[in-house]
A and B are shown apart, each in its own frame.
Chain A
């Protein structure tokens, strides 16, 4: 039987805390969603002042990265490159700020962030993933 790594709640707390710290360092206010490899929510935090819209966007960016195993920014590039039909892909929000979490070459979930500029959202998500991979 094949086995695969799985995110625990403790992992999520670590990822979310590091992502939130990265946001605070830059005086950014965001919502941070962490999902499993099926795109189901594991952990969510909306910082004070982040909008209800940020909550939904962070979730959708995260879902995109989790179920497609690639960053939501990659999907944005597809669209920007002229493949506008990618906008209609089911379950895909083609906006940068959602990253897959890859452990031992397996996608175990994702982080989605919304609240500041899209590349800054992604920077926050990456900071969360880095904290997990540093151990």
Chain B
């Protein structure tokens, strides 16, 4: 008797839930005309420019007494240069690399993932190589992506400020 009652309740719940679900269109069903973040890949960033980006990011962090780990990867997502500031936390060695690599390989700022996950797009965390935290920014040269910079050590917002200083120093 009990189980029959449960089934009846479940059936009633389903009857309510299904029409409610059908009324809300899934935003992911939308098919845009153009590809998002359709940036062409360029040649790998040279070491001197990678180091210039890191120097600018480190200078910005130093000015504010933040301790950052800063990575720059090339257009293939491979590490080109890295610096750990005195007193920066160890976990951020790999996080800074991950942010840089994700920004290069997905051709967008890692903040895009943070925003997406925060807005409820949980499927994003199932994608390979994602990192849901700001502080990874593509490096550009003449409209092409030549690499990316990743900063980690503070809050995401602090990481991003350092990163932007680095990117601004070399983007053209």
Binding site for B on A (CB under 8 A): 8-9, 12, 38, 40-48, 52, 55
**How far is A47 from B58 in the complex, measured between Cα atoms in Å?**
20
A41–B84 CB distance below 8 A: yes
Q: Which of B78, B90, B93 has the most CB of A within 10 A?
A: B78
Interface bits B67-96 vs A (CB < 8 Å: 1, else 0): 000000000101111111110001001000
Decide: A42 near B84, CB < 8 A? Known: A52-B76, A52-B78, A55-B79: yes
Task: Please determine whether B47 and A44 come into contact, CB atoms closer than 8 angstroms.
Answer: no
Q: Which residue of B lies closest to A46 (CB)?
A: B80
User: Which 7 residue pairs across A and B have the least CB separation, nearest first?
Assistant: A44-B82, A52-B78, A42-B84, A55-B79, A48-B46, A46-B80, A8-B86
Picked from A8, A41, A52, the residue with its CB within 8 Å of the CB of B82 is: A41
- B60 beta carbon closer than 8 Å to chain A: no
* B51 in contact (CB, < 8 A): yes
B47 touches A43 (CB 8 A): no
Q: Which residues of A contact B86 (CB under 8 A)?
A: 8-9
Interface size on B, residues (CB 8 A): 16
Write the nearest CB–CB distance from A54 to chain B, whole angstroms: 10
- Within 8 Å by CB of A43, from B76, B80, B84, B90, lies B84
Q: Which residues of B contact A46 (CB under 8 A)?
A: 47, 78-81
